[in-house]
Amino acid sequence: MSHVGIRLAVGLALAWSASAGEAFAAACALDLTQDLQGQIVLPAGCVFEGTLRLKKSDTSLNCNGSFFDGGNTTSSGLVVGGRDEPIQNVQVENCGFRNYTGNAITVSYKGMSDDIEENYRRAPKNIRFNQITIENSRLGFFIGSYSSKVVISNSRVSGSFGTAIYLEYSSRENEIYNNYFFRNGFEDNGKRKREALAVDSSANNKIQNNVFESNGNGGIFLYKNCGEKSSQKDNWQRWQHSNRNLISGNVFRNEVVGVWIASRQSRDLSKWDCGDRSMGDSGAYFEDFANENVVSDNQFCWTKRPVRIEGDSNQVINNRFDQASSAFSEVPLSKRGEILGRPPQGNRIESNRPTECR
Our count of domains for the chain comes to 2
- Please report how many Cα atoms fall inside a 13 Å half-sphere around the Cα of residue 325, on the Cβ side: 30
Whether 146 is covered by a domain: the verdict is: no
How many other β-carbons are positioned within 10 Å of the β-carbon of residue 170? Answer: 23
Same domain for 331 and 196: yes
Q: How far apart are CA 136 and CA 177, in angstroms?
A: 21
Amino acid at 164: A
Residues 6 or more apart whose CB falls under 8 angstroms from that of 267 comprise 285
Same domain for 267 and 209: yes
pLDDT in tens, 88-123: 999 999 999 999 999 999 999 988 888 999 999 999
Q: How far apart are CA 257 and CA 346, in angstroms?
A: 22
Same domain for 355 and 218: yes
Same domain for 300 and 192: yes
Q: CA triplet 51, 68, 1: central angle to 5 degrees?
A: 60
Same domain for 251 and 197: yes
Whether 293 is covered by a domain: the verdict is: yes
Question: Full-prediction pTM beyond 0.85?
Answer: yes
Whether 139 is covered by a domain: the verdict is: no
Whether 137 is covered by a domain: the verdict is: no
Lowest mean pLDDT of 5-14, 42-51, 345-354, name the range. Answer: 5-14
Q: What is the DSSP string of 158-187?
A: E--SS-SEEE-TT-BS-EEES-EEES-SB-
Same domain for 205 and 117: no
Cα 270 to the chain's mean position, in Å? 26
Whether 298 is covered by a domain: the verdict is: yes
Helix %, strand %, coil % for the chain, to 5?
10, 35, 55
φ and ψ at residue 229, rounded to 5 degrees: 55, 40
Same domain for 326 and 200: yes
Its domain, for residue 70, covers 1-132
Same domain for 117 and 176: no
Classified as helix, coil or strand, 20 is helix
Q: Are 140 and 176 in contact (CB under 8 A)?
A: no
Same domain for 246 and 294: yes
pLDDT in tens, 127-184: 999 999 999 999 999 999 999 999 999 999 999 999 999 999 999 999 999 999 999 9
